[in-house]
Chain A
């Protein structure tokens, strides 16, 4: 299948990109990895008149730790996260996700920020970003702002990036010593959208009590969903089998999936529970708290 015709505009700087967006308005789409956009264009579901290619902006392809966070630039490919020893050592949740986004070839082109901006209801990065309490840096004509992930993910395929703006970076706060996480995903095969997904990040206090919890589910609503009730149950409590089950049950309650070829609503909601449970257990095992199955 062949896309409809479009004008192609490679840009070499963020300012150039913003100028192009200002000039072309909603006729223009940003092209980074293109792994979601180009297939949509091949099916003619997307027909942008102008593609603003930000791949040539070399300064956007960074992955570094600074200011207490992991900073991922808009040009950074999923595979860079997958291969990063820093991420593997210090950001278990992020590392888990990078191994299961799309497929191993698509990951060599797709970008983390691009995935977040695309905001597919079954996308992986949004779920992890919620659990990890990430922030997105957005720049427009009016200046640069930092948006919390909860505010950033607005609706299916819709984010807080307004017309004329460009998302530049996602930041994952650096987990402390007693923090770990896990991403659990059910997919029918590699490359399929998630049937269900869950992301958990927990911080334990010195006495073993959970002092912070991020719990989110994916493919369970119009966008990745924070399981607020689970977080409330977890924070301030000691990890027990019953606690984990109660927290996981909250995921099933809030889960609002669409029935499709991956499964019916009842099944998917049950899987939200199962995956949150498994993510909690895996996270605690990584924190050397076991026997909670």
Chain B
């Protein structure tokens, strides 16, 4: 059963409206980055280091420069001379090389750029750039990095691989509570390095136009304004002279948030050469150099009474950040929102600490629908609770119901500093258990166990946190994480809304129109939505971390309400009554006490231009910059049913039910699509994805034959449904949903497989649950 709205369809909110953006895509007329062709455009190809850690002795450009069509060969030294050798990371505490300076610090790191008149010429010439390396000791294990035997970042003041320590909660009280608990479980678990791998890779067309004096950047960017500001800060070019246009994007998932070396080199090349320069990564570059996700080594400790009431939570993490700390977290949150790790449970006390290390790997960490590390936190607590259930011999659903934060406790202040806005965890889980037929499944499992068959049921009841965020807590490079909407209604009742977000398939061109239509009683088909052009869109922080509906969605609603306020004045003027007598009802303005006397927004729009109210400006538009008062806390209950083939280690996902609560649903069809996609990503992570390095630092998953994306054949069918617990502080009651399925599902899959194999005494298996890994776990348990 699909997602359903909270109330029967209103005018536009809750409508499963077909997407307005689809016509161009189904006709092959989307305008993606590589579709952009400018006159005299040149092409950039990058040269990559084969060594994970090596001093760069010498770079010889001669042969490359001699190739026909080659216009420039750029190295780190060249960029340093132009003050572009290093760029700040979003997170603010580190900087990263654009092209390798002095040494290469991860395999495939960008070492030089070749600009030529054709792609092929650039690629051919890149092969001819001769780089002499002096290999250095390689570190690909953060537990080795922490020993500081080899220092990776000798550019930093403190010569250590330790980047930072972060903690929140009460350490001593938590330790004491754990020690005093009847039951104390401790479980190590790894959330492996993975990569978002959208089907469109990253790219740029940089055009320093001597005629206009402006630098135009067509950029695969989830955050065009932020990118504009960063480019200005890094290059010194004033922001009015920079125009960032984010065209249609073929999937983001966090991959298109960071500023990549290719962008900077292309921009520098365009400035130097005075021609547009295009750079489009190939898949190998995408997988080996662009922002990875996860790579957290966690230890989860939970204390409980013998009756199963949790008493304390402690989570300790070692984080592998790669060679630069480029995790795109808000400044005050180096470990993102990991503090959500108490999840849906009412822990009286909790503590979590994390230490981050450099290794010889690509930088990143915040990507792949992670909501700023909520994926890691949610995995930790949901696996931890199942470990506790296993130790107690208690049903995992029962354990969860016993420990959920209760509906009456909201707004709920968590022991790690969040105030959850609303939730009804019992209702959502009960709905899931009912729909899946939980009791019958457990009975079936018992029968199968007698026959030596391995069937498992895995539950994940996650609470996640999105909507970054309130200005007092959240900023990216100092810029507060508000978002914005500018709405203009035309004389004939159509309109345009522009926001600071930038969709990559999430359906904003439809959902934003629905919000405006709902607030103003207009036809959503006639509300044009524009995002991604920094010359025209109001400043915003972009689309990632499921923040668009919570923040920009709020801005749109509030901007529309401003328009409604003004429209009220016009209504009063046109109807010749006092403003106090005007009521907004049934999507039009009515005169109280005078039935039949009303005026529609469409008529008001016309009047705004032809018969404006004397006490206000002509026209009908408003802008709102929304600083949300809090984050929002979507939650859900996911249940996976699996059958494990002990002979081959293969897991078949028989059923997967996702009950999501993202508050008020604007377009249920779009929400359901988001859930399908996120669950498929979670499935991929749980069973087949990892970015691994061998002991010498060689990247083992450099293209789609080794970094696996599931096909239609492996992917299970998803069953979806929802509950609605509105956000009390959001103007629409909506919470955001894009990342919930990726947050909640990996634990459901792992819990299910461990549940299936628990008769063998298995208590944990790290992801990905490949056949080989599961098979070995079974063999070892049987031995």
Q: Tell whether A pairs with B.
A: yes
Quick check: is A101 within 8 A (CB to CB) of the other chain? no
Q: Is B198 an interface residue (CB 8 A)?
A: no
Q: Name the residue of chain A whose CB is nearest to the CB of B650.
A: A186
Q: Is the CB of B705 within 8 A of A189?
A: no
Interface string of A51-81 (1 = CB under 8 A from B): 0000000000000000000000000000000
Which of chain B's residues have a CB closer than 8 A to the CB of A274?
Answer: 647-648
Task: Let me know if B710 and A263 touch, CB within 8 A.
Answer: no
Stretch at the interface among B2-10, B140-148, B233-241, B767-775: B767-775
Does B120 reach chain A (CB closer than 8 Å)? yes
Q: How many residues of B contact A (CB 8 A)?
A: 28
B282 on the A face (CB < 8 A): yes
Q: Are B711 and A190 in contact (CB under 8 A)?
A: yes
Residue of A186, A263, A264 with most partner-chain B CB within 10 A: A263
List CB contacts (< 8 Å) of A102-120 with chain B.
Answer: 103
Complex-state Cα separation, A193 to B713, whole angstroms? 16
Choose among B120, B709, B713, B772 the residue that contacts A264 (Cβ–Cβ < 8 A).
Answer: B772
B688–A189 CB distance below 8 A? yes
B465-500 vs A, Cβ < 8 Å mask (1 yes, 0 no):
000000000000000000000000000000000000
Find the B residue at minimum CB distance from A195. B771
B688 x A188 contact (CB < 8 A): yes
Q: Do the beta carbons of A188 and B284 come within 8 Å of each other?
A: no
B708 at the interface (CB under 8 A from A): yes
Min CB–CB distance A121 → chain B (angstroms): 14
Asked whether A1 lies within 8 Å of B284 as measured between CB atoms, the reply is: yes
Chain B min CB distance to A228 (Å): 24
Q: How far is the CA of A270 from the CA of B688 in the complex (A)?
A: 20
Q: Is A8 part of the binding interface, using a Cβ–Cβ cutoff of 8 Å?
A: no
Take A186-B648, A189-B714, A261-B706 as given contacts and tell me if A270 and B770 are in contact as well, using a CB distance cutoff of 8 Å. no
The answer, yes or no, to whether B587 is at the interface (CB within 8 Å) is: no
| Chain B 702-727 interface residues, beta-carbon cutoff 8 Å to A | 705-706, 708-711, 713-714
A191 to B771 alpha-carbon distance, docked (Å): 17
Q: Are B711 and A188 in contact (CB under 8 A)?
A: no
The 8 A CB mask of A161-205 against B (1 = contact, 0 = none) is 000000000000000000000000010111111010000000000
Answer whether A270 and B775 are a contact pair too, CB < 8 Å, given A190-B713, A261-B701. Answer: yes
CB distance from B668 to the nearest CB of A (A): 31
Contacts of A4 in B (CB 8 A): 124
Kindly list chain A residues whose C-beta atoms are within 8 Å of the C-beta of B692. Answer: 261
- B781 near A: Cβ within 8 Å? no
Render A254-293 as a binary contact track against B, CB cut-off 8 A, 1 for contact.
Answer: 0000000111101100110010000000000000000000
Near B by CB (< 8 A), chain A positions 137-155 give: none
Q: A261-B692, A261-B701, A274-B647 are in contact. Are A190 and B772 (CB under 8 A)?
A: no
B90-149 at interface with A (beta carbon < 8 Å): 119-120, 123-124, 127
Closest to B712 in A: A190
Q: Knowing that A189-B709, A266-B776, A274-B648 are A-B contacts, what are 11 other residue pairs whose CB atoms are under 8 Å apart, sorted by A's residue number?
A: A1-B284, A2-B124, A186-B648, A188-B770, A189-B714, A190-B711, A191-B705, A264-B772, A264-B776, A267-B775, A267-B776
Q: Determine if B770 and A193 form an interchain contact, defined as CB atoms under 8 angstroms apart.
A: no
Instruction: Kindly list chain B residues whose C-beta atoms are within 8 Å of the C-beta of A271.
Output: 648, 771
Kindly state whether residue B180 has any CB partner on chain A within 8 Å: no
Closest partner residue, chain A, to B715 (CB atom):
A189
Kindly state the separation between the CA atoms of A44 and B649 in the bound complex, as whole angstroms: 36
A189 and B692 CA atoms in complex are apart in Å by: 18
In the complex, B179 has a CB within 8 A of chain A:
no
Q: Across the interface, which residues of A come within 8 angstroms of B648, CB to CB? A: 186, 271, 274
- Chain A residue numbers with a CB within 8 Å of B123 are 1-2
A284 to B104, CA, bound (A): 58
5 CB-based A-B contacts, threshold 8 Å: A191-B711, A261-B700, A267-B776, A270-B775, A271-B648
Complex Cα–Cα for A271 and B119 (A): 44
CA–CA, A190 and B647, complex, Å: 20
- Residues of chain A contacted by B713 (CB below 8 angstroms): 189-190
A188 to B684, CA, bound (A): 11
Please give me the residue from chain B that is nearest to A193 by CB atom. B705
Chain B neighbourhood of A2, CB < 8 A: 119-120, 123-124
Taken together as a complex, chains A and B put the C-alpha atoms of A270 and B772 apart, in Å, by 10
Number of A-B residue pairs at CB separation under 8 A = 55
Q: Which B residues are in CB contact (< 8 Å) with A191?
A: 705, 711
Interface residues of A (CB under 8 A from B): 1-2, 4, 44, 103, 186, 188-193, 195, 261-264, 266-267, 270-271, 274
B719 to chain A, nearest CB (A): 22
Q: Are A189 and B711 in contact (CB under 8 A)?
A: yes
7 closest A-B pairs (Cβ-Cβ)?
A: A263-B772, A267-B772, A190-B711, A2-B120, A2-B123, A274-B647, A190-B713
> Once the chains are docked, how many angstroms separate the CA of A170 from the CA of B264?
54
Docked Cα-Cα span, A103 to B713, in Å, equals 11
- Shortest distance in angstroms between B522's beta carbon and chain A's nearest beta carbon? 44
B711 in contact with A267 (CB, 8 Å): no
Bound together, the chains give a CA A195 to CA B708 distance in angstroms of 14
Q: Which residues from chain A contact B709 at a C-beta distance below 8 Å? A: 189
Which residue of chain B has the shortest Cβ distance to A39 in the bound complex? Answer: B705
Which residues of A have CB within 8 Å of B119? 2
Within the complex, the shortest CB–CB distance from A193 to chain B, in Å, comes to: 7
Minimum CB–CB distance from A256 to chain B (whole Å) comes to: 17
Q: With A1-B123, A2-B120, A263-B772 as given contacts, are A192 and B705 in contact (CB-CB < 8 Å)? A: yes
By a CB distance below 8 angstroms, the chain B residues around A190 are: 711, 713-714
**A residues in contact with B708, CB < 8 Å:** 188-189, 192
Interface 1/0 per residue, B639-653 and A, CB below 8 Å: 000000001111000
Q: How far is the CA of A193 from the CA of B771 in the complex (A)?
A: 15
Q: Chain B nearest CB: distance from A62 CB in Å?
A: 30
Q: In whole angstroms, how far apart are the Cα atoms of A4 and B123 in the complex? A: 9
What's the least CB distance linking A102 to chain B, in Å? 11
Q: Kindly state the separation between the CA atoms of A190 and B648 in the bound complex, as whole angstroms.
A: 17
Contact of A267 among B120, B282, B700, B771 (CB under 8 A): B771
Distance (whole angstroms) from the CB of A167 to the closest CB of chain B: 25
**B68, chain A: closest CB distance, angstroms:** 12
Cβ distance B189 to chain A, nearest Cβ, rounded Å: 21
A103 touches B776 (CB 8 A): no
**Residues 20-37 of B contacting A (Cβ, < 8 Å):** none
* 0 or 1 for each of B761-783: is its CB under 8 Å from A? (1 = yes): 00000000011100110000000
A8 to chain B, nearest CB (A): 15
Q: How far is the CA of A103 from the CA of B710 in the complex (A)?
A: 12
Name the residue of chain A whose CB is nearest to the CB of B285.
A1
* Chain A proximity of B44: nearest CB distance (Å): 14
* Docked complex Cα distance between A1 and B772 (Å): 32
- Give the Cβ gap from A265 to chain B, nearest Cβ, in Å: 10
Measured in the bound complex, the distance between the Cα atoms of B759 and A265 in whole Å is 27
Q: Which residues of A contact B649 (CB under 8 A)?
A: 267
- Is B772 a contact partner of A262 (Cβ separation < 8 A)? yes
CB neighbours (8 Å) of B284 from chain A are: 1
- A173 to B713 CA separation, bound complex (whole angstroms): 32
In the bound complex, what is the Cα–Cα distance between A271 and B645 (angstroms)? 12
Q: Give bound CA distance, A1 to B48, whole Å.
A: 14
**A263 and B770 in contact, given A190-B714, A191-B711 (Cβ under 8 angstroms):** yes
Q: Give B226-253 as 1s and 0s: 1 = Cβ < 8 Å from A's Cβ atoms.
A: 0000000000000000000000000000
CA distance A267 to B705 in the complex (A): 20
CA distance A261 to B623 in the complex (A): 53
Question: What chain B residues lie within 8 Å of A186 (beta carbons)?
Answer: 648, 650, 771
Cα distance A188–B776 in the bound complex, in angstroms: 16
Is B711's CB under 8 angstroms from A103's CB? yes
Give complex CA distance A175, B717 in Å. Answer: 39
Q: Which residues of B contact A264 (CB under 8 A)?
A: 772, 776
Distance in angstroms between the alpha carbons of A2 and B120 in the assembled complex: 6
The distance in angstroms between the C-alpha atoms of A264 and B776, with both chains bound, is 10
Residue of A nearest to B776 (CB): A267
Could you say which residues of chain A place their CB within 8 Å of the CB of B701? 261
Q: How far is the CB of A61 from chain B (nearest CB, A)?
A: 28
A259 to chain B: closest residue by CB: B772
Distance in Å: Cβ of A260 to nearest Cβ of chain B = 9
Q: In the complex, what residue of chain B is closest to A44 when comparing beta carbons?
A: B127
Q: From residue B444, how far is it (CB to closest CB) to chain A in Å?
A: 21
